[in-house]
Structure 1
């Protein structure tokens, strides 16, 4: 868990590339596995830029998805206000699931079926980002693979053993938008990658035939 990862130095960020891609670290020529399951969760402050470093494209491409929490709603804010001052801040949090169970769930999600037409839809979405207006660098094949994996997990989570085009649509922005590198002029004008990705989704037609069980 990396809190405010954009405050880490470029050298520290580059050290994460190997472990995020290969689940291992190398020290003095010796490689060490970090085990399975392994994942990196990171936060960053999108507003304050002083003392921060922009994440390199190679590192952004290794994050499965990016999401924005935003502000809590009124009910959540009330709970925070009521319990925030008196809640015990224990560091001994109980485990709710074992690592073995997580690995088994990941294996199960990997067996979720994807029709050829849905694979084609994912490929067309990714390819469209590379020729989209205001985009300097589109989504790589790694991004397409991330969307495939996330779509399988999403389908399994809702109790289906097949992926639909709607699953892909729901996850396209969280999985792909952060991988887009916009032209400097577009960034200066305030254009956001999520807006570009939303436009691409609207321009690429989904397959007419849905996957069937």
Structure 2
């Protein structure tokens, strides 16, 4: 099955309506909203490293309201237990049996606020559900349903008393990005509407939650030419051989980039992936999967710079001549 031009056009129209809907709650952040929606429709999870008060909770709520789903916010603290996230078995004396009480993870969009403040044991409680879409308690698997997306946040300026996410857990996130502060015009518009306490509450559904899986399935059939796949493979290989890199892009990272590129392409009305799609998504998809060596970090080298050098060294395919 291939995506027809008509299907791509309808997908792009729906995607744009969803973006416009969320933009009513998150002012001036069109690109970030598009990344978040791409992450959702690619059936992945999003890590936001951002300052307090930039709209992370509003983004999660607006995203859930747009797809007519449910949302929950979990404030991660050092005393948070795994059962506080996943749920717990409680003994029912009337029925004389244990009953599973679902935790807040059983929602469509889950905001894991300041995830690095929780203990590693509690952080690891998310690994199974993020990868397999289910929670196992006392040997019994409980599916969380679809759509399901974790939006986790980290505060980049307060690291005291935090537990850094290990590389294996970082790799579970399809994308990592930041919302950032709004520009002047968006700030003024936000202040003019200061009487509205929760802008995300005004966001109405655009599609049903069941349609998210249909859109995701359509994106899976977007064409990726062998030349583009080879380009992604060469990028990953170059990241592993880069002298300033301690850990390069894994095969899972390559799959993540291709999966996101398919959704990004059809969201722009195309039934095929281009090199520009790969370039646009490289930093949010690969940035948290590349670890710069300690000596290079000491010299001030950043992941952004490394990715820039990799794309300079790896020649992009000329699809017109292919």
Tell whether the structures are fold-level matches, with TM greater than 0.5. Answer: yes
> Which whole-Å CA distance do the structure 1 matches of 2:173 and 2:321 have between them?
28
Question: 5+ residue gaps in structure 2?
Answer: 1-110
- Seen in structure 2, the aligned counterparts of structure 1 residues 26 and 211 have a Cα distance that, compared at 3 Å, is farther
**Against the structure 1 CA distance between its residues 61 and 211, is the aligned structure 2 distance closer, same or farther, given a 3 Å change threshold?**
farther
Paired position in structure 2 for 1:114: 224
CA–CA separation in structure 2 for the residues paired with 1:47 and 1:196: 23
Give 1:87's aligned residue. 196
Tell whether 2:260 aligns with 1:150. Answer: yes
Q: Secondary structure at the match of 1:148?
A: helix
SS at match of 1:167: helix
Task: State the shift of 1:196 in Å.
Answer: 1.0
Counterpart in the other structure of 2:295: 185
- Structure 2 residue aligned with 1:32: 142
Partner of 1:67: 177
Q: Tell me the distance in 2 between the aligned counterparts of 1:9 and 1:96.
A: 37
**Deviation for aligned residue 1:39:** 1.6
In the alignment, which residue of structure 1 is the partner of 2:313? Answer: 203
The alpha-carbon deviation at position 9 of structure 1 amounts to 1.7
CA contact (8 A) 1:19 1:25 kept: yes
Q: Write the distance in 2 (CA, Å) between the matches of 1:140 and 1:179.
A: 8
Over aligned residues, Cα RMSD in angstroms? 1.8
Instruction: Spell out, residue by residue over 1:128-166, the C-alpha distance to the aligned partner (whole angstroms, 9 max, x if none).
Output: 110112111111100000000100001000000000111
* Residues 52-106 of structure 1 deviation map (CA, whole Å, 9 limit, x = unaligned): 221110111111111122221001111222223x114388564332211111110
Checking the alignment, whether the CA contact within 8 Å between 1:115 and 1:211 is kept in structure 2 is no
Tell me, in whole angstroms, the C-alpha distance in 2 between the residues paired with 1:10 and 1:187.
25
Higher relative contact order (CA 8 A, sep 6+): 2
* TM-score normalized with structure 2 length: 0.62
Structure 1 equivalent of residue 132 of structure 2:
22
| Selected match of 2:281 from 171, 178, 185 | 171
Alignment partners' CA distance in 1, 2:217 and 2:298: 43
Shift in Å at residue 211 of structure 1? Answer: 9.5
- Alignment partners' CA distance in 1, 2:117 and 2:142: 26
> 2: CA distance between counterparts of 1:8 and 1:127?
34
**CA displacement at 1:210 relative to structure 2:** 4.5
Distance between the aligned counterparts of 1:211 and 1:63, measured in 2?
35
State the match for 2:123 in structure 1. 13
What is aligned with 2:103?
A: none
Distance 2:199 2:223 in 1: 42
Q: How many aligned residue pairs are there?
A: 211
What is the rounded CA distance, in whole Å, between the counterparts of 2:279 and 2:242 in structure 1?
17
Distance 1:104 1:197, change over 3 A: same
